[in-house]
Amino acid sequence: MLVHVLLYDAGQDSEGIHSLELSGQTVVLMFENRDDADRYAGLLEAQDFPTPAVEALDREEIELFCREAGYEARFVSDGFVPQSDDERLMLAPPSANRDVTNWQEQDSDQDPSPAQGRSVNDDESSIQDLDDVRRRLEGLL
């Protein structure tokens, strides 16, 4: 099954996936409906956050990536209705985002993260993990 995720610099060496921090866990959103993903990307842009590209990728591959990276993949179904404050962030990004205007340069000073361009916190991982994720994402396209 294809899901829609938000990618930054899609197809580039600096490619990253959008994620956010919910209850202390790094979460990658997988949208069933492309329109929902496009709307979320537009809301990020309206907050002066870098505009991600919406990409359709295999759900199992995204879930595998998340498990290996220690992230949580959350599926946002068509017609999703939030039941908590955390779930509301699955429909609209938080009002305070991490400053990512120069996330490419910031990562050169520290270990890059496979989820570059994220909203709040930044879990570190090795360059090897980033290269592995990049190869898997490229293989899906």
Span 31-50, average pLDDT: 91
Burial of 102 (0-12, 13-18, 19+ CB in 10 A): exposed
Residue 110 has pLDDT above 90, yes or no: no
DSSP per-residue string spanning 75-87: EE-TT----SHHH
Domains of the chain, by residue range, sit at 2-140
Q: What is the mean pLDDT of the chain?
A: 77
pTM over 0.85: no
Span 46-61, average pLDDT: 92
pLDDT score for 65:
94
